[in-house]
Structure 1
Amino acid sequence: MCNVLVSVICVLLSLCLYKWYRNYKYLQQFDWLPPKPGWPIIGNSLEFKDLTDVLSTLIKLIPKKEKMILLKIAGVPNLMVADYDFTEFILSNPNILHKSADYKFYRKWLGTGLLIGGGSKWKSRRRIIAPSFNFSILENFLEVFDSNGNIFINKLKKHIDEDKINIDRFITLYTLDVICETAMGVKVNAQINENSQYVQNVQLMCKIGMIRATSIIKKSNLLYPLTPDYYRELRAIKQLHDVTDAVIEERSLTCSTDEDKEDLNEYGLKKKMAFLDLLLNTRVDGQPLSHEDIREEVDTFMFAGHDTTASAISFCVYFLSENPDVQEQAMEEQKAIFGDDINRKSTLNDLQMMKYLECVIKETLRLCPSVPLYGRQLREDVYYKGNLLPKGLDIYIFPYGMHRDTDYYPDPEKFDPTRFENLDGKRPYKFVPFSLGPRNCVGQKFAMLEMKSIVSKLLRNFEILPTIPKHTLHFVSETVLKSTNGVRIRLKTRKW
């Protein structure tokens, strides 16, 4: 028995030494990068106490000169980047398309759809989905923006002159109503029924994904089932999938047929078609997409087009409340477009004319990118300026940090929409809230139209005022950028 025990211990020690040696040789390839010393095995994981300090910690850790640093999270090397040249190199490279390993924490929910997938499947899905974001289709969603926007405004009218309105709560329900109607073709009336389980589940999944990315225990597939979050995640995913499955089944029964050809656009698609209808009508090599294929794309669109947009709108409203001169200029633009008819519906042309409001939204996304950190994984060795980046490395682009760098933006903490009025286009990769390159956000036109539509309606109905005393945002990175203490403002009925 003693000999067997000694043999087992020797084997385990040999395996540990072999793993240590492989890791040592792997890390030697990064000697050209500024390292951050860490603890054995766990690396730099203890640098991140909780989700509220991820962003501020990264800003402190990333050197001002190199603008990138190698961190070992749970012992795994991760390259954190806030450098313009490197960001352009990664995002513009047609061969670096795979998402980083941490995206696997969302795979049970989102599958390997457009957000997470890679390779030939991703390219095929991109070709299928891209036409649905053409303006000829997006224009028909304006009615959805407007009708749900009216509910949003009427809800806010009940809170006029309150000291501290958490606008984020109202906007999140608005964007959920919009995305359900445009993505799945169904009304869920989340603004009327405010206790939306769907919203709570989406927010839980965003939080759990980020926790797993920085937790030593929860990052491990072996140890994660020993934690309560594992079972909370399973319940949330089941409820999210149940909603999508039910809608797909119902919608597939009423899906337009080949004989139903009226009112088609130049892509051969019905103009008034939900995103789900597009997928139900899609054929690949003559075969329809499977139920699972459709569900993962609808779930992806529901996630990517709901919480991210809500985050951007909420922070935009906050910055308008804190910058009355900016709000006044945005309002002057609204007057020029709508005249005395403040209640008429926005047309596509109206929204395209809102150039200053677009600058306001872009400046919001500069300071508060909805996704403050996103990653790519190398599937082959790559050389950058003569230095090796080995296969398997996870690289994280850090727009939250890059957007606040004085080398790229003068006085970066100042909210100044005029930065975007006269861009020369020479350094496009310094502004990457939607990413750039081949894996840029396919829904950014949709998002911009939705944001313009609702902020325009808000401006035309209310003066947006700061709270007294001033409300300070406490940022937290839960996949999507949030404020732990809400986004609080005051409202006053606007007099024209």
Structure 2
Amino acid sequence: MWIVLLLPIVAYIFIQIAFCRVKSQSKYLRNVPGKRPFLIFGNLLDFLPGSIVFLDNLMGYLKTYGDTILFHDGSFSWILLSIDYEFNEFLYSSSVHIEKSDQYQFFHGWFGQGLLTSSGSTWRNHRKVITHSFHFSILLQFIDVFDSVGDNLVKKLESEAGKDSVEISQLISLYALDVICEAAMGVKIQALEAGNSEYVKSIKEMCNIVVDRVFSFISPRLYKLTWTYYREKTALKVRGFVLA
């Protein structure tokens, strides 16, 4: 009986807290164009996971509202999306505006908290460590790797030449994976040759999971009770060969 009486009160408090959070964020973003959110769903109904019109709707937003847009993801937070080169250059080159959005926590189980996913002092420390590694002269020693894997890509493309169409993004992704693993970790995984190896399938699975979570109503606390969490743990089991 008490539970029945308490549930509406708890729900009301939760909604009020969420509303205050959205309102506090909105005052900083009110001048950014975007489609008006629909009740608690925000703009999420236009970006349902697996929707075949996902990309069309996204491009429609950009065409209607401009190169920098704002939309509500249904989880009481806002997402700022921009294809404005100058704005992105200003934002990404900043050493002050480095706080990551809440969505980056979805990568923590996969990448941990490194340069990609961390903020504050952790980000600065990682940035200092790898800054010199990105000098163009460092890349010269890996040209042989680029060439040898590139030869494999050319052979793969030649074998696909007689077909009506080729999923080029798949081949380029496998090429990039081969280059990164061999150049950065000294591991030849032969992704181009193997096609859908366990490692490649796990990467695809994790990418799909992250996208699903971005557009999901389920809170991080309840996520561990879902089937998606089990899929993530299964996919991450193949990290062993990299961490060994």
- Residue 133 of structure 1 is matched in structure 2 by 134
Q: Are residues 81 and 181 of structure 1, via their aligned partners in 2, closer, same or farther at CA, if it must alter by over 3 Å?
A: closer
**Equivalent residue number for residue 201 of structure 1:** 202
The residue number in structure 2 matching 1:277 is none
- In the other structure, the counterpart of 1:124 is 125
Contact 1:63–1:69 at 8 Å: present in 2 too? Answer: no
* Contact persistence 1:177–1:190 (CA under 8 A): yes
Aligned positions of 1:406-485 closer than 5 A: none
1:95 maps to 2:99: no
Secondary structure in structure 1 of the residue aligned to 2:224: helix
**Paired letter, 2:57:** T
Contact 1:66 1:83 in 2 (8 A): no
Structure 2 residue runs without a partner (length 5+): none
Matched to 2:194, the amino acid is N
Query: What's 1:230 paired with?
Result: 229
TM-score by length of 1: 0.43
| Superposition map of 1:165-184 within 5 A | 165-184=166-185
Query: Structure 1 238/163 Cα, relative in aligned 2: closer, same or farther at 3 Å?
Result: same
Counterpart in 2 of 1:243? Answer: 241
Larger RCO of the pair (alpha carbons < 8 Å, separation 6+): 1
Pairing 1:30-179 to 2, within 5 Å after superposition: 30-34=29-33, 36-51=35-50, 52-62=52-62, 64=64, 67-74=67-74, 75-83=76-84, 86-87=87-88, 89-179=90-180
3-state DSSP of counterpart to 1:192:
helix
What is the RMSD computed on CA atoms of the aligned residues? 3.0
Q: Distance in 2 between matches of 1:162 and 1:63?
A: 34
**Which letter does structure 2 place at the counterpart of 1:135?**
F
Structure possessing the higher radius of gyration over alpha carbons: 1
Where does the alignment leave 5 or more consecutive residues of structure 1 unmatched? 247-496
1:82 & 1:165 partners in 2: Cα distance? 27
CA contact (8 A) 2:22 2:77 kept: no
Number of residue pairs the alignment of both structures matches: 241
Question: Matches of 2:94 and 2:220 in 1, distance apart?
Answer: 31
Normalized per residue, which structure has more helix? Answer: 2
CA separation in 1, counterparts of 2:125 and 2:16? 41
Mean Cα deviation higher: 225-234 or 47-56:
47-56
Which whole-Å deviations, capped at 9, do the CAs of 1:45-102 have from their partners, x for residues lacking one?
Answer: 1121345433432332347566544322123222333456654553343310122211
Report the CA distance shift for 1:35/1:133 in structure 2 as closer, same or farther (over 3 A): closer
Q: Secondary structure at the match of 1:216?
A: coil
Aligned-partner Cα distance in 1 for 2:201–2:149: 20
1:63–1:194: structure 2 CA closer, same or farther, 3 Å change rule?
closer
- Describe the SS at the equivalent of 2:72: strand
Give, as a single letter, the amino acid of the residue that structure 1 aligns with 2:220: N
CA distance in 1, matches of 2:137, 2:22: 55
1:424-447 residue CA offsets vs partner (Å, 9 max, x unmatched):
xxxxxxxxxxxxxxxxxxxxxxxx
Change (3 A) 1:62 1:134: closer
